[in-house]
Amino acid sequence: MPSRREFLLRSAATGAFACAMFRDDAIARVQAADRGAGGASPDELAGNEGYWGQIQRAFAVDRSIINLNNGGVNPSPRMVQDAMRRHVEYANQIPSRNLWQVQDPKVETVRARIARQFRCDPEEIAITRNASESMEIALYGLDLQRGDEVLTTSQDYPRMINTLKQRELREGIVLETFSFPNPPPTLDALVREFKRNITERTRAVLMSHMTTYTGQIFPVREICAVAREKGITAIVDGAHAFGHIVFDGGAIGCDFYGTSLHKWLHAPIGTGFLYVRRDRIAGHWPLMAAAEPKKDDIRKFEEIGTHPAANRLAVAEALVFYEGIGPRRKEARLRYLRDRFARRLAVHDRVKLYTSLDPDQSCGMATLGIEGIDSGVLRKHLWGKHRIFVTAIKFEEIDGIRVSPNVYTTPIEIDVFCEAMEGVIKNGLPPADGGE
């Protein structure tokens, strides 16, 4: 009798053959799934494998591996990849005409589509290459004086921390950080910590909507309200939130919000956006020089020289795919997949769960460790022995692996991961992988 893993690999081979023989459009897959959904609520539909099986087949992923690191960058469905190819081929027919005179104007439609999903004015959306570029525009463009403080947590994304450290070195501003437990006891506790650490010198607060280390959701609306009350700039890093959890971006009350679209939205690699509240645009410096740096035009933040339009135009296809599934359905499915492994493994005494399973505090990502097992060694073992791809997280008191499935992930793949982890919990690592 074949093992579960052998069954998975045989099924993957069959599925790959089927995809090669029957290349259906991703939207047709979504529509077919929707017809079978009936009037089921997102939570009821979260475990409906008939529905999600159709969504899974919209992706041309390699089923001989199990990718559980979707927090880094996500694969795109075939319809997004096909759109990218079409736009690249068209641009290359006569680049200086097709790129600048035809494709660049079409980007305005994509801007409007992003704004509609985020729920803001299109004139508040700059299309960027990733969350890091978006956040550096926000952080470097602030007028700060020597001694001015920017407050964030110690668990903010390293590149943003380094951005502020560079401003410390060059300009004498002050970066202030505070730590919090993993997981925190409540969302209110996070609000209180921001309040407690704000001083009369604080000019800006930076917060992750969802942290990169554990997927902890922050009460960004409440924190932004605290900042606004004190006249402090509020900056939100939404790299892991957009396309992952449902929220009203326009209601957050922040001054800046940056995200990557090649993460949870499944857009082409090298796409993101920066929201800038309308009354902050004119006074904010662009990262790269614009002809009129103090102009009230969101496009001044897109001054990066010659760049492809194909990536940006294909974002529209990713939005169609996301909207076709439905944001609430996707959020419920991601939480269902996360709970399938997190709740199963958390019952073991040696397992430390660094992520709260409270639905208000987390969604599709969870970080967990095994007592006595180095997370880096565990990551290598899972890949080398089982071809399961996760990322190791070592930060302050965290020593675990971050696991982040997505809509193309199957429950069987989650179960294979759990079995591999339970093997390590029970038997340890083999000598070749760092065990005794």
Cα 158 off chain centre by: 15
Are 99 and 184 found together in one domain? yes
Ramachandran angles phi, psi of 362, nearest 5°: -160, 170
Decide which of 319, 346, 381 is a domain's last residue.
319
> Quick one: which of 337, 327, 388, 332 has its CA closest to 365?
337
Count of helices and strands (H, E) across the chain = 16, 13
**What's the rounded Cα separation, in Å, for the pair 59 and 67?**
13
| pLDDT for the residue numbered 401 | 98
- Which element (helix H / strand E) includes 403? strand 398-403
> Are residues 143 and 247 part of one domain?
yes
- Within a domain: residue 434? no
A 10 A CB-CB count for 82 gives 16
Establish if 173 belongs to a structural domain: yes
**DSSP 8-state assignment for residue 94:** S
pTM greater than 0.85 (yes/no): yes
Q: What sign does the CA torsion over 242, 248, 249, 255 have?
A: negative
CB burial of 313-346 (b: ≥16 within 10 Å; e: otherwise) equals: bbbbbbbbbbebbbbebbbbbbbbbbbbbbebbe
Residue 432 lies in a domain: no
Q: Is residue 75 part of a domain?
A: no
Domain check: are 62 and 107 in the same one?
no
Alpha-carbon distance of 326 to 147, in angstroms, equals: 46
Query: Are 272 and 219 contained in the same domain?
Result: yes
Residue type, 287: L
Q: Which amino acid is at 233?
A: T
Sign of the dihedral defined by the CA atoms of residues 122, 123, 127, 132, in that order? negative
Residues 164 and 264 in one domain: yes
CA–CA gap between residue 346 and residue 323 (Å, rounded): 33
pLDDT of residue 20: 37
Contacts of 3 (CB under 8 A, 6+ apart): none
CA dist., res. 168 & res. 68, Å (int): 36
Q: What's residue 264's pLDDT?
A: 98
The last residue of one of the domains, among 269, 293, 319, is 319
Put residue 435 in one of left, alpha, beta given phi > 0 → left and psi -120 to 50 → alpha: beta
**pLDDT of amino acid 29:** 66
How far apart (Å, rounded) are the C-alpha atoms in residues 95 and 313?
15
Structure tokens, 17: 């053959």
For residue 221, the domain's CATH number is 3.40.640.10
Residues 240 and 313 in one domain: yes
**Boundary of a domain, candidates 293, 319, 345:** 319
Q: What is the rounded CA–CA span in Å between residue 178 and residue 176?
A: 7
Number of domains present in the structure of the chain: 2
Instruction: Please check whether residues 245 and 170 belong to one and the same domain.
Output: yes
The verdict on 131 and 46 lying in the same domain is no
User: Is the CB of residue 233 less than 8 Å from the CB of residue 205?
Assistant: yes
**Full domain range(s) for residue 51:** 4-67+326-426
Q: Are residues 245 and 296 in the same domain?
A: yes
> Is 433 within the bounds of a domain?
no
Which of left, alpha, beta for 215 (phi over 0: left; psi -120 to 50: alpha)?
Answer: left
Of 272, 255, 252, residue with least CA distance to 263: 272
Tens of pLDDT, residues 245-265? 999 999 999 999 999 999 999
Could you tell me if 88 and 186 lie in one domain?
yes
Whether 171 is in a domain gets the answer yes
Q: Which residues pair with 206 in a beta bridge?
A: 235
Q: What is the CATH number of the domain that holds 419?
A: 3.90.1150.10
Extract the residue ranges of the chain whose pLDDT is less than 70. Answer: 1-27, 29, 31-36, 38, 434-436
257 and 347, same domain (yes or no): no
Tell me whether strands 125-128 and 272-276 are parallel, antiparallel or unpaired: antiparallel
DSSP 404: B
Are the C-beta atoms of residues 216 and 153 closer than 8 Å to each other? no
Residue 58's CB: how many other CB atoms inside 10 A?
26
Q: Look up residue 387 and give its amino acid.
A: R
First to last CA, the chain: 31
Q: Is residue 431 part of a domain?
A: no
- Nearest CA to 420 out of 376, 392, 391, 379 is that of 379
Retrieve residue 383's tokens.
Answer: 């890949």
Tell me, yes or no, whether 256 and 146 share the same domain.
Answer: yes
> What phi and psi, each to the nearest 5 degrees, are found at residue 315?
-60, -35
Is residue 267, in this structure, part of any structural domain at all? yes
